[in-house]
Structure 1
Amino acid sequence: MPIQPVAMDHTSRVQPLVHEALFYRDLPGLSAALLPRFADAFAADEPVAVVVRRSRTELLQGALGSDAGRVRWLDMARDGRNPTRLIPSVIGRFADEHHGRRVLVVGEPMWPERSRADYVAVVAHEALINVALADRELTVICPYEVSTLDPRVLQDAARTHPTVVTHEDSWASLSYRDPVALAMSFLSDLPEPDCVPERLTFGAYELAQVRELVYAHAVLAGLGSSRRDDLVLAVNEVATNTLVHSGGPGVLRVWRETGRLVCEISDQGQVSDPLIGRHPTSPTARSSRTPTSQPPGGHGLLLVNELCDLVQIATTSGTTVRMYMNVVDN
């Protein structure tokens, strides 16, 4: 049965970007909180996208019934496996496809099984939504399951969302912090690997060695041929950016973590743009094909975000880009 709109006065009708953390306790609570929001969006003829795990998709599709066909469904475990790509390639792209109309996006980026490295990227993503998409006619609702997530995760959710909502209430978050400063604080402290990485200092004449070293590690890690090629292309793109934009040599480090192969490129160049690699392409740039919405190196990092399973970019002391590929441990 199609759901009916309810009489609720959401601020999304008057603000460009509305970014809310939705705290829910269980799956029935998630459904109860979201169904009225879907009904309002349908009544206002707003496009809707939902990016959640499969179990949540099945729940919400069942609750929506025939209205489920009015929603674009994406799998967060696949499309959001690298949180750094969510702003330009998922949320921003969906908004751009419906330029001139308000859209609703529901995205649940965090669950208990995600790694610490994932979590750092999730917090940075949530904070930078408030900057990258500030001028979009867009409502983003980010569910957090309070019964399963660590209290620190909920605290950070309140720090990255101007508004917190539940099934029954909503309030301005008193914990909300400057989004750029918060994101940079998480990205500035990338932990050192537990093992001793293989290291290569490279210049323009060593790019072939960079590719060969990454390829060898990818083979040893058991990556398939297409995944090997993706990783080599991603690392080569970042290494080339280092030589073109930093004016000096770069350092490649490669190591294994549980379930992942990690390649890191670092240099002494300074990047002043906190949204590097995250800028959503403006509708004007999309239609005119003019690459003016990305800073130098930004287009390459957009590609890297598409190719890798996780990307972390730290810019506080020089620039460090970590690229992760998921592997099967022996």
Structure 2
Amino acid sequence: MHEALFYRDPPCLSAALLPRFTDAFADDEPVAVVVRRSRMELLRGALGSDAARVRWLDMAREGRNPTRLIAGVLSRFADDYPHRRVLVVGEPMWPERPDADYAAVVATEALTNLAFAGRELTVICPYEVSTLAPHVLQDAARTHPTVVTREDTWTSLSYRDPVDLAMSILSDLPEPEGVPERLTFGAHGLAQVRKLVYAHAVLAGLGSSRRDDLVLAVNEVATNTLVHAGGPGVLRVWRETGRLVCEVSDQGRVSDPLIGRHPAPGSPRAQGGRGLLLVNDLCDLVQIATASGTTVRMHMNVADD
């Protein structure tokens, strides 16, 4: 069950969620809440002593890369309770979230319906209607089969096929700001890939651990290109406001729409899927487009911007 909760203000959020928490506790359902810190404090206060029965996670940290939410948060929590229904409240969007994250948020919301079809899992996604743009609410209705408010529940007439929607929104990734540096690499080109990424990371001012994370992430994706897509691949690197971006593209075809999010065991690219889970953990934003070949775009925040 995947619901979009439309609420007007913080008190309305508490009023809408408290009965859901009460029902979950009564049914002995494990509960996780993944929201920004201000909403976490609000809900903790409203729950009082029952707050200790909830697993609290900061969405700004756990979901800074929306593409990791399915595997890194939802699946991880549900898998801790394999024979029980669980409840997760996850707030995907708020006004201060970077615009660059938006396509990945919508794709993740859509693919959540596919990833957990048939699972004993309820996911409630709050959207604050007084602060979010109209197109955000429209996309919430397209990615959630059910929309709820404090007073009402209805089936979304705008709901779209999850795979079609995710592929359409990620197939139109924006072109880079400025002219990226481009490198075509083949079977013996991984050292050049790592060297180019490292040089740009130094110029961008990334700290040593962040440089290493980005080099590792890009090397993993480039290796997948050579092993699973047969190569060659194309690396592009560029700066955007506040971010260094590295993109690896190839002509490999992926049949699993959840690649990098919830890879199916035994699928042809299952190993690549596991590698992309690591990439999702390392980077601040990962966009995976598979409509024409495969493109993996990795973003790393640059603190001094």
The interval holding the TM-score normalised by the smaller chain is over 0.9
- Structure 2 distance, partners of 1:188, 1:179, is 14
Q: Could you tell which deviates more after superposition, 204-213 or 109-118?
A: 109-118
Q: How far did 1:273 drift?
A: 1.4
- Report whether the alignment pairs 1:69 with 2:52: yes
- After alignment, is 246-255 or 64-73 more displaced? 246-255
Q: Distance in 1 between matches of 2:173 and 2:75?
A: 27
Identity %: 83
Runs of 4+ in 1 over 6 A off after TM superposition: none
**Match of residue 92, structure 1, among 75, 79, 82:** 75
- CA contact 2:263–2:270 (8 Å) conserved in 1: no
Following superposition, the deviation at residue 115 of structure 1 comes to 2.5
Q: Does residue 322 of the first structure (1) align with residue 297 of the second (2)?
A: yes
The gaps in structure 2 that reach 5 residues or longer are none
In the alignment, what sits opposite 1:9?
none
The number of residues matched between the two structures is: 304
Please say which of residues 309-318 and 291-300 is displaced more in the overlay.
Answer: 291-300
Aligned counterpart, 2:15: 32
Identify the residue that residue 194 of structure 2 maps to in structure 1. Answer: 211
Does 1:111 pair with 2:94?
Answer: yes
Whether 1:122 aligns to 2:105 is yes
Cα root mean square deviation, aligned: 1.2
Q: Deviations over 1:277-309 (max 9, x none)?
A: 11167xxxxxxxxx5376341111111111111
SS at match of 1:252: strand
2:170 alignment partner, one of 187, 196, 200:
187
- Unaligned runs of 5+ residues in structure 1 are 1-17, 282-290
**Following TM superposition, by how much is the alpha carbon of 1:113 offset from its aligned partner in structure 2, in angstroms?**
1.9
* Partner in structure 2 of residue 286 of structure 1: none
Map of 2:216 onto structure 1: 233
Work out the CA distance in 1 between the residues paired with 2:165 and 2:266.
27
- Aligned pairs for 1:128-277 within 5 A: 128-277=111-260
Helix, strand or coil at the partner of 1:205? coil
User: What secondary structure is seen at the aligned counterpart in 1 of 2:188?
Assistant: helix
SS in 1 for 2:138: helix
Q: Is the 8 A contact 1:104 1:138 kept in 2?
A: yes
CA distance in 2, matches of 1:261, 1:302: 20
Length-normalised TM-score, structure 1: 0.90
1:149-188 CA-partner distances (Å, limit 9, x unpaired): 0001000000000000001110000111111100111000
TM-score, normalised on structure 2? 0.97
Residue identity opposite 1:158 in structure 2 = A
Indicate if the aligned counterparts of 1:92 and 1:280 stay in contact, CA closer than 8 A.
Answer: no
Q: 2 CA distance for matches of 1:292 and 1:73?
A: 33
The answer to whether the 8 A contact 1:24-1:146 is kept is yes
Counterpart residue number, 2:43: 60
Distance across 1 between alignment mates of 2:232 and 2:177: 25
Letter in structure 2 aligned against 1:243: L
**Secondary structure in 2 aligned to 1:297?**
helix
Separation in structure 2 between the aligned mates of residue 247 and residue 58 of structure 1, nearest angstrom = 49
Distance across 2 between alignment mates of 1:219 and 1:144:
38
In 2, Cα distance between equivalents of 1:114 and 1:186: 18
CA distance in 2 between partners of 1:141 and 1:159 (Å): 15
* Distance in 2 between residues matched to 1:60 and 1:88, nearest whole Å: 25
SS for the counterpart of 1:140 is: strand
